[in-house]
Amino acid sequence: MTSETLEQAFETLPQSGGRRSGALVRKLGELVDGELPLQAFLELLLPQMCELFAASAAVAWMKTQGANGAVFGVRYRMDQMLDSVTEHKRHERLVQLAWQQRQPMLAEPSAAKTGEVGNPTGRPILFGPCLHFGEPIALLEIVLAEHDEGMTQEQRQRFLRCVQLLAERVYGGLRSRIAMPAANVGVALQNLEQLTNDVLSMQQQILRAIETRLQTFHGWAFASLAENQEFARAVHTLLDSHGLRVECSECGYPAILRCLSAGNAKRGAFVFDHYLDSGRTFHGGLTTVPLIRVVPKPARRAAINNPA
């Protein structure tokens, strides 16, 4: 990430001062790339973060080496934000939640409820994790100025983008100042497993959304064979781009929807084109669009017959 990218991001914030924000980003870069030890680096970093965001307070949370799960925070003006033991406890639970996210988080003020995870400061709080091999080694917390009218969705996205880029820039400074844990294949595989589950969930959502929309065409018949074939091709193109097929209404196998010229059907007949053990087969034969059910595309037959 270049400093120019960070400058451009901060120029989109409501309180940006144009050239002023650019100067602050460059000043931050000098601090990150400098040679100050960790404690001094963090103590100077926090007020600079507040300047960049026109914020009220900030904390840099770090994991304690040798104490699994323990963290410590270097604070800047944070004591002014929390007035009671109850507010401190709610804030601690919020920080714990932000650690678990592994992505930027914006917590807007919330009313106090017993045991609730929420933001007790009365101001929006930004969290940006500094990730090392996908695991947070530090967490930047920035208490923004009060927003009397609340934030728009566009403003939220801009703040989240800025804190993400800031965390990536600060990570470079942390990497040069502390001993980083070695790459752990167990952690990597765990992250990949989570990614796989997330992708599968999204694929299922896409499948259901496509199926629901395609089923609205059930019973339709277009004006000519050419138009019916054009519709069938469009359905296949859409499904194929997402690794999907239609389910044959007769045998349940994944298939390609086609419209073929058939007998007395001047506008053609819709069929399910697929390969069975007996060879290529066409099931169906309706003159109107059948009820479409969507299924994943099967593995290639060569791959099935000759597994790696």
The Cα 163–Cα 99 span in angstroms is 14
Q: Please state the pTM of the whole predicted model.
A: 0.60
As separate numbers, helices (DSSP H) first and strands (DSSP E) second, the chain gives 8, 10
**304: confidence class by pLDDT, cuts 50, 70, 90:** very low
Name which residue leads in pLDDT, 148 or 75.
75
pLDDT at 303: 44
Q: What is the CA radius of gyration of the chain?
A: 28
Q: Which ranges of 67-220 would DSSP assign to H, the alpha helix? A: 85-101, 153-175, 185-214
Name which residue leads in pLDDT, 183 or 207.
207
Question: Cα dihedral sign for 30, 32, 38, 44?
Answer: positive
pLDDT tens, 20-46?
778 898 999 999 999 999 999 999 999
